[in-house]
Amino acid sequence: MMGHDWQAARRLLVVRLGGMGDLLMTGPAIRALKAAAVGRNVTALVSPPGAAVARLLPGVDDVIVYRAPWMRGVDADAAMDHAVIEQLRTRRFDAAVIFTVFGQSPLPAALLCHLAQIPRRAAHCRENPYALLTTWVIEKEPEDEIRHDAERQLGLVAELGASAGDDKLAISLPESARAWGARHRAEGRPTIVLHPGASASSRRYPEESYATVLRLLEHELDAACVLAGTDDERELLLRIRQTARSDATVVCGTSLAELAGLQMSADVVVTNNTGPAHLATAVGTPVVVLYALTNPQQAPWMAASRVLSADVPCRNCFKSVCASGHHRCLRDVSPRQVVDAATELLLDGSGLARRALC
């Protein structure tokens, strides 16, 4: 149970300003907060890239989308800031929990919540927040440890007395999305979804290597492969298919729910360490992750998985662009390793057991 001060909070705001993966990894902590008080209503304040997945998270009752000017790529808009403060104020929240990675300061969001007259405010913080936080959890990363993002967020809510009965990633998927995904499932053959894209170039496995993986999966496993991505990644997917001389299905520009349904229909997902890796985990599909060694906090969480990378001296660089220019943490992973990892997930029962249940 939560301590008395937080137990009384019935209208709760959770703040996670990030992308799809950030919201998914915060999901267990949000569920813990929701379950910690009977009748609690939870609203999520999120960035546009995280809005779609926030609406699928169990425990989230409402979503407010905000283009925060302290986030990357967002222009300052004072009128929008004032409008969000007023919206939060009129909702009369009892408390706000601000989720961040250790490289982010929670203080801009804490000030926003303070100006919105939200009386309880909790977050990890490195510097003394004084009155901006009413519950200050001292930041100890990365000096003392570096935790997985999901573990970090669970640690924050544990300080408030909330614990999750189930720490796994999860989403609530509409039946229409499940049915849409099931249409891409092959009968009598393994179905494998490949996601070659990523927003950061440092986290992209080379497209020529993806083409080789695609060719080997089709020829050696007789797999029915689906190449998936955003509309902006369509040309990338088509190049990979052409290089592989494949007739794999290309799926672009789906809704997030449809993408999740597609992954749910698969026996294995192959992807970079980006949002779709965590989405696959949330729907319970085994995943092979080409894991660039940029950030140790974002590996698959409590999932049937194989995580592939090549060790490099520049590991844990936290860079969106490879500063060394060699991308060896991914380039040195061979397509054979990827195919063997997918085969292991199929043969060890993870993929086959799911097929039997579908």
State pLDDT tens for residues 173-192: 999 999 999 999 999 999 99
Mean pLDDT of 245-270: 96
Q: pLDDT category, 80, cuts 50, 70, 90?
A: very high
Indicate whether 52 and 103 sit together in one domain: yes
User: Please, how many CA atoms are within 13 Å of residue 316, restricted to the half-sphere of its CB?
Assistant: 7
Is 176 a domain residue? no
Look at residues 159, 194, 214 and tell me which one is the last residue of a structural domain. 159
State how far the Cα of 228 lies from the Cα of 201, in Å rounded to an integer. 17
Is 255 a domain residue? yes
Instruction: Find out whether 319 and 299 touch, Cβ atoms under 8 Å.
Output: no
Indicate whether 120 and 196 sit together in one domain: no
Is 171 a domain residue? no
Give the count of domains, the chain: 2
pTM of the model: 0.90
Q: Could you read off the pLDDT of 37-60 as tens digits, one per residue?
A: 999 999 999 999 999 999 999 999
Q: pLDDT category, 324, cuts 50, 70, 90?
A: low
Q: Is residue 73's pLDDT more than 90? A: no
Indicate whether 286 and 353 sit together in one domain: yes
196 token code pair: 């070659």
Mean confidence (pLDDT) of the chain:
89
* pLDDT given for residue 309 in this prediction: 81
b (16+ CB within 10 A) / e for 188-202: eebbbbbbbbbebeb
Indicate whether 101 and 142 sit together in one domain: yes
214 Cβ contact partners less than 8 Å away, ≥ 6 residues apart: 194, 225, 227, 240, 241, 244, 246, 248
Is 167 a domain residue? no
Of the listed ranges 115-124, 198-207, 253-262, the one predicted with least confidence: 198-207
Indicate whether 252 and 293 sit together in one domain: yes
Is 177 a domain residue? no
User: Please, how many CA atoms are within 13 Å of residue 155, restricted to the half-sphere of its CB?
Assistant: 18
Indicate whether 154 and 191 sit together in one domain: no
Residue 107, domain CATH? 3.40.50.2000
Q: Of 111, 165, 163, 164, which Cα lies nearest the Cα of 3? A: 163
Is 168 a domain residue? no
Indicate whether 279 and 234 sit together in one domain: yes
Indicate whether 339 and 256 sit together in one domain: yes
Which residue has better confidence, 164 or 92?
92
Look at residues 99, 124, 159 and tell me which one is the last residue of a structural domain. 159
Indicate whether 147 and 193 sit together in one domain: no
Q: Of 341, 22, 335, 342, which Cα lies nearest the Cα of 205? A: 335
Is 98 a domain residue? yes
* pLDDT given for residue 262 in this prediction: 97
Q: How much of the chain exceeds pLDDT 70, in percent?
A: 88
Other C-beta atoms closer than 10 Å to the C-beta of 336 total 11
DSSP 185: P
Q: Of 146, 203, 184, which Cα lies nearest the Cα of 358? A: 184
Is 170 a domain residue? no
Indicate whether 338 and 200 sit together in one domain: yes
Structural domain harbouring 20: 4-159
DSSP element (H, E) containing 112: helix 107-115
Indicate whether 342 and 193 sit together in one domain: yes
Q: pLDDT category, 1, cuts 50, 70, 90?
A: very low
Indicate whether 135 and 260 sit together in one domain: no
